A and B are shown apart, each in its own frame.
Chain A
Amino acid sequence: MGTLSGSRIEVRDLGVRLGEAEILAGVGLSVAAGELLAVIGPNGAGKSTLLRAIDGLLPVRHGSIAIDGRPVSDYRRRELARVVSFVPQSGAPADGYTVRAFVEMGRYPHLPTWSGLTSDDRRVVDEALELTETGHLAARALTTLSGGERQRVSIAAALAQGGSILLLDEPTSFLDVRHQVQVLELLGRLHRDGGYTVVAVTHDLNGLVADADSVLGLVGGRVACSARPAEVLDAEVLAGIFSSGFRLLPGGRHGLPVVVPARGER
C-alpha cells in the first residue's frame, strides 16, 4: 500500500439546520493529515449530520468547512469525491450488482462519460478489494453478503474513489466481535500505514475510540469535549456526554482503561 500525503479538515463554528430543527451549532474541529478522529455522543447528537456536512452533502447555515484550506463549497461535486469518501451506515444494498461492479462505481469521479475503466482504474479497484480482504467476494451479488463482508465492501468502494479522507458512520455497529476486530484492524492499517485521514462516528468506546488520535464528543449538536482518548475515557467525562454512569477497569488497548456502563450508578 502506498502512503498518501493525507488531507486536513478544519471545521469552524458550524451550524446546520434541517427544516426547523437546529442539528449542529457552533461545532469546531480540526483533523491533521493522517489523523484518526472518533466522534462520539448519544443518539441524535448530530454525529451523522456532521459527517454529511464535511462531505458537502448538506447545506451549511453557518460557519465554514475547509479541506486542505479550501472551503468544501468551492469544490465541484466530482472534485470533492476525489478527495473525500463517505462510508454510510450499512443500509439495503443495491439489488443485483456484484461486489466488483459496486466497488468499480467508486471510480466514478475519475471516469469520462463514454469511456470504460482503464487498466489504472482496474488496478485501483483490485487494490481496494485486496486491502479490505474482499477479493474472493468480487463475483458475489451484494445482497448475498453478511454484515461484516458488506461493511468491508463498502469501505473498498470508498477506497476505490482514490481520496485521502475517509468518513465512516458507525463502521463497527451491527457486527459480531470478529468482524468488529477485522474492521478496526483495517481502519488501523489505512490510517497508520496508508496515511488516510479518518473521521469515524462510533459507539465503540473500547475499540475505535481507544485507537483514535483524538475524540470529539457531541451532545445536542454542540461540542461537549474535544480531547485525547486518555482524557475522554474517564468516568466523569463520559457521564457528561452520555448522561449515564461508567466504570473504568484496567487492561484496555494502548494502556487505556476499559469502560463499561455502570447500571444504577450515575
Chain B
Amino acid sequence: MEFGLSNEHLMLKKLFQEFAEKEVEPLAAQIDEEEIFPRETVNKMAEMGMLGIPFSKENGGAGGDNLAYAMAVEELSKKCATTGVILSAHTSLGAAPIDQYGTAEQKAKFLVPLARGEKLGAFGLTEANAGTDAAGQQTIAVLDEETGEYILNGSKIFITNAGQAQIYIVMAMTDRSQGTRGISAFIVESDTPGFSVGPAEKKLGIRGSATAELIFEDCRVPKENLLGKENIGFKIAMQTLDGGRIGIAAQALGIAQGAMDETVQYVKERKQFGRAISKFQNTQFVLADLENKIQAARLLVYRAAWNKDNGLPYAVAAAHAKLFASETAMEVTTKCLQLFGGYGYTRDYPIERMMRDAKITEIYEGTSEVQRMVISSALLR
C-alpha cells in the first residue's frame, strides 16, 4: 500500500499551488463581488495544459491522470472555488463523456479543442422539473430523416459554464415511452441555430462561475453529434456524474483546506485577553477536529481518483468522497468563520466567501442525499 505521491504528482502539486497563489488568489474576491467569469485565468490554465489533464496526448490532453486533475481542482479551490468548478465542469462533464463514448471523428472535432483549452465544455441534464429525478426529462430530440439532423426542443437549467462554453453535452428524450431508457446524449455547439443561453443566475456562492439556462428552439444538431448510441444517454449521464463527483469532491476539499489555511494564520495573529486566540483550548480543539476531517476527506478524494486511474469501480468511492468532502467543507468554513468572529462575517476576509462557496458542493452533481442513496444501495445490494 502506497500513501505517498509520486515525484511527478509532487511537482504538479507545486505547480498548481504556485499558479493558484499567483494567478487565482489575487482575483478571487473581485470575481465573487462583481460576478465576473475569470476568462483570462482560464486562458492561462489552457496554456499550461490544465484543461486536458486526464486525456491522452493524441486527443490534445496532457497524458496525465485523474489524481493530478483532482489535485488541480483542489489547489485552485483553496483560493477560489469559482475557478475550481470551471475546471471541474469542463473536464469531467464537458470533455470526459466524449473521451469515453465519442467516435474517432467526434474526438478529433470536439475533444481535441476541449483538451487543448481552445474551447470550454459544459453539460446539460438538469431541467426545471427534472433535478434529482433526472428521468423526468422534457427536452426532446426528434430525428429528421430527410436532413439527417436531430431537432431539439426544451431547456436545461443551472448549467455551469453556460454562455462561456462552446461545446455542450446535452441530454434529451428520443423515446419518451422508454423513460430513462429513452434518453440520448448529444454534442451541441454554441453556434448551432436554435440554441441560446438565458440570463445568468444570481447565486449565493461561486458567483464568478457562469450559471444559466440553455434553451433549444428547433435546434438542429447533425446526426454525427449523437454521443454513443440512441437511448443510452441516461447511462452516459450517470457515468459522467460519477466522474464529476471526484472533481466536486476535490473542490470541496480545496475549499476546506483554504479555510483552514486562512484560519491557522488568523488565530495566531488575533489577540484577545492579552494573547493570541490560538492559545485557547477551544481554538485548538476545534482546529484539530476540522483538520482531522480534512485529512480524511483528502484520502477519500484521492482514493476515488486513484480507483478511476487504475480501472477499478469508482462510482461508490466518488459518492463517499463527495459526501464527506462537501459536508467537511461546510463544517470547516462555518466553524472557521466562528473563530474569525465579527471580522469573519465581513468581506474584508475571505472566510465568508468560502462558507458561501462551500454550500453548493452539497447540492450540485448529486446532492448529499443522492450520495447517500448511491452508498446505501451498494451496501444493501
A binds B: no
Q: Which residues on B are within 8 Å of A, measured CB to CB?
A: none
Q: Which residues on A are within 8 Å of B, measured CB to CB?
A: none
